[in-house]
Amino acid sequence: MSKVILITGASRGIGRSAALLAGARGWSVGVNYASNAAAADETVAAVRVAGGKAIAIQGDICDEAAVIAMFDATQEAFGPLDGFVNNAGIVAPGSALADMDIARLKRIFDTNVLGAYLCAREAARRLSTKRGGKGGSIVNLSSAAARLGAPNEYVDYAGSKGAIDTLTLGLSKELGPQGVRVNAVRPGLIDTDIHASGGKPDRAAVLGVQTPLGRPGTADEVGESIVWLLSDASSYVTGAIIDVAGGR
């Protein structure tokens, strides 16, 4: 069945892969991004080639008006929402907590926790059958860091993703009776640009060989889990946190 979905941070990386896999199913995708319009336009073109529909929507997930506008734009273009992927997230350069300043801590928690909570709230308002929605599926992007702690690298990021695991558990219980499933995917070392943004472009390649599967994961391998959780094939799955981490 064709679906209308919105993915935050879909211009690059895991969000982009999920958008393309959704496109291959013939779904319609709101492709949110922060600033890289060229990458978002490329994703939109690729979703269309794959067989879906897509529009690019600029908007910072930390900005409430922008979050509301990205949901509005998706629904105006394609109709009522079926699913939401809470994907946009950031890291900062590796550091011990003792060396982190308040600006960094605020940026990480504002984006990865407040931004993601704000987006989940908006998805709940749009999808809940109690509020006039069709019901549907929310997929949150956590991280293996939530259970590993990321010592000396980014305990701030790890904690922000712990909050996403807890959001997933609580919201799944709130929204289950309202027709909405809420799950999380917890990726391990995945080969995307996020590691360069944390100052270590080869981090996934270097550490990936130490995982039980002996390599980093690909964005598509995470995207497959996301699209499955959005799809009706996972209709009895809610409150689940799925590790896609090569056994790490």
157 in active site:
yes
Shortest distance, position 244 Cβ to ligand NAP, whole Å: 9
Residues at the contact surface with ligand NAP, assessed by CB under 6 A: 8-9, 11-15, 32-36, 39, 60-62, 87-90, 111, 115, 141, 143, 187, 189-190, 192-194, 197, 204
CB-based burial, 177-197: b 16+ in 10 Å, e otherwise: eeebbbbbbbbbbbbbebbee
Nearer to ligand NAP, 12 or 53 (CB): 12
Distance CA(230)–CA(224), nearest Å, equals 10
The per-residue DSSP string of 2-31 comes to: --EEEETT-SSHHHHHHHHHHHHTT-EEEE
* From 117, 154, 157, 236, the catalytic residue: 157
Distance CA(163)–CA(142), nearest Å, equals 9
Which residue, chain included where needed, has tokens 């289950």? 176
Shortest distance, position 212 Cβ to ligand NAP, whole Å: 16
Shortest distance, position 168 Cβ to ligand NAP, whole Å: 13
Q: Which two tokens stand for residue 85?
A: 């992927």
Residue numbers annotated as active site:
157
